[in-house]
A and B are shown apart, each in its own frame.
Chain A
Amino acid sequence: MMLPDRVLFDFFAAIAAASALAMVTRRNILHAAILLLATLLATGGIFLQLQAEYAFAAQLLLFAGGVVLLFVLVAMLVAPESLLQDASFNWKNYSISALALVAAIEIIAFVWARHNGAIWPALAALPSSNTGAVGDALFRDDLLAFEFTSVPLLATIIGVVMLAKRRTR
């Protein structure tokens, strides 16, 4: 890894890790949403550094744009008061945090074991661009699997329509 790459990677990784940590410790949901945004954008920067331009753009449009917005909207519609009030801490939160910590250690140990003691696997020579490869994989090689994932989405849409119609009646 070249030195500029190293610096950039460390920069993005530090932002991602720090904002992820800050996100799970915030009590205000809106603050947490903004921090999630920062995490996603920093991860997108790493994607861009890996020449994965499609993943970067999708991260920007779908996750940072769409999904976080969805979170914010759902929080506003379902529990508007929770945005302005602080959530109370109880033993559940601590136990969940402990579980998350265990999972994180597990993942790090797994990567460590897999790559013979190096947490960051050496990067292979990067292709100049892999947008076309993504398209090939999604719409040629794995078309059936890709289309199957739309079935749960369809079910979700139908569910939403059912809920919305029931409310208006």
Chain B
Amino acid sequence: MPHALKILEAVAIGFLDAILIVAFLLAGIACIAISESRIAQSHNPESAQAGADLSELLHRLALSLKAYVRGLLVQDAGRFLPLLAAIISVATGVVAFAAFSFGPAVHLADLNTGLVFIFGASFLAIHGGVLARGFSVKGAPLAGLARNAVRAASFEGAAALALISGVILAGSISVKHVVEAQLDQGAWFFFLAPLGFLLYLASSIAGIDSVSRRSIRPVSQDGEQPTDSHTAFRWPFGSLGATIHLLIGAGLAVTVFWGGWLWPFASFHDHFAGTPVELLDAVPPLAMIAIAVYCRRVASREDDAARKQLMTIASGICAGLFVVLAGVLFAPAAAIAAVHGAFWFLAKMAAYIYGFLWLRARVPQFRFGRPIRAAWNFLIPLAAINLICVAAALVVRERWDWSPTLSTFATTVIALAFALWLGLHDVSQTTAYGVEP
């Protein structure tokens, strides 16, 4: 009998966890879709086609689900693989999220190989991309498929190498230990490996680019979905997967380079008890109430009914979060750390994603040859050199007691010099390795 209870408990907890993750991901996806359309509009006012409000987003998702179900009911072996592609690209993302750590004790699974697991799970999404492309276009040129997979894999490789510069600073691949190492060393790894972070950002922008952009193709507006369910497939699931993987990329960057759930100046918090550093605890509730007031004001000025409603809802959510964040200040220290840790983690993720989308809207899209050449001839060697430089800085710091600032500065300059050399030599020697121009 205890066994049965235990199984029931495990199943119930697992189920709750799954619901939490999915709810969080859906909220994140909605936020990203809205902000992406806003950023695209501010960048290019004519591109109003991507104007996705929440209701419109849900509408599109419902339309394509309908098209999908209808397609499934028609017995056709060819429809199985596209569905599988969608499942792979979304499910791998959901699974990867289980290993993130949202606060000192706020995590679903504390894997001690967390970073490798997250990276591996999101790497699997490439299979989804390959399948989706292979079967969304009838008789697709298979070499093109291979190219896309190679491209995605190349940039994932570069991103992984860049991420490892943070891992060697921490000396661990456990998500928890990486964050705690940043607390112990008194600096986010962004400051100890700035080039690593930039390389990670660059390779994730270049890698995710072609997949998601081309897949944003609006389902026809009149409610009648396209006859070909493969066209409908492209927008919701391709872009859903890409968005989830954008969230994962942001989570990885924040965990490794931006201190995860650490609040700013976390290392000084205990050293200077009673000084203004403690006032930082008041920042999360204040930020929330400020956002709530801002949303309320925007809502009162907005003409469009749907947007007005959306902003009112957002304002209400922020006010609720204010109550939670302020209320927890009177709770024990562990509760403050947990709740505010989650706040800082999500805030940093939001900042990263906003910067990412902003940059991506401004980076032009290149043909296949150039980005992949950039990956292999520039990003990957530079990431490897940066790795060596970060390791050298670590050694110099431990053996000869150099200050972190000096060692980081010196090694970054060396890596930058190498980058310059690579950039100068890249132009002349590119066609020798069989990469098409």
Contacts and interface: CB of A to CB of B under 8 A. Distances in A.
Contact of B10 (A4, A37, A58): A4
A131 B119 CA distance: 17
Interface string B109-121: 0011100110111
A57 B434 CA distance: 33
A121 interface: no
Give the most central of B10, B116, B119, B432: most A CB within 10 Å: B116
Nearest to A83: B142
Contacts of A126: none
B143 interface: yes
Given A53-B112, A58-B116, A168 B434 contact: yes
B341 interface: no
A4 B153 CA distance: 37
Which applies to chain A's interface (DSSP): helix, strand, loop or mixed?
A: helix
B146 A77 contact: yes
B117 A76 contact: no
Contacts, number: 88
Given A60-B123, A72-B127, A76-B145, 7 more contacts: A3-B6, A4-B3, A54-B113, A54-B116, A69-B127, A76-B146, A83-B134
Interface in A1-54: 2-4, 7, 30-31, 34, 37, 53-54
Interface of A: 2-4, 7, 30-31, 34, 37, 53-54, 56-58, 60-61, 64-66, 68-69, 72-73, 76-77, 80, 83, 129, 131, 161, 164-165, 167-168
Interface size class of B (residues with CB under 8 A): 20 to 34
Given A56-B113, A73-B149, A161 B433 contact: yes
Nearest to B150: A73
B29 interface: no
Contact of B113 (A3, A7, A131): A131
A60 B121 contact: yes
A168 B112 CA distance: 45
Contacts of A167: 434
B3 A69 contact: no
B178 interface: no
Contact of B434 (A56, A61, A76, A165): A165
A80 B111 CA distance: 39
Nearest to B125: A65
B437 to A, nearest CB: 11
B7 interface: yes
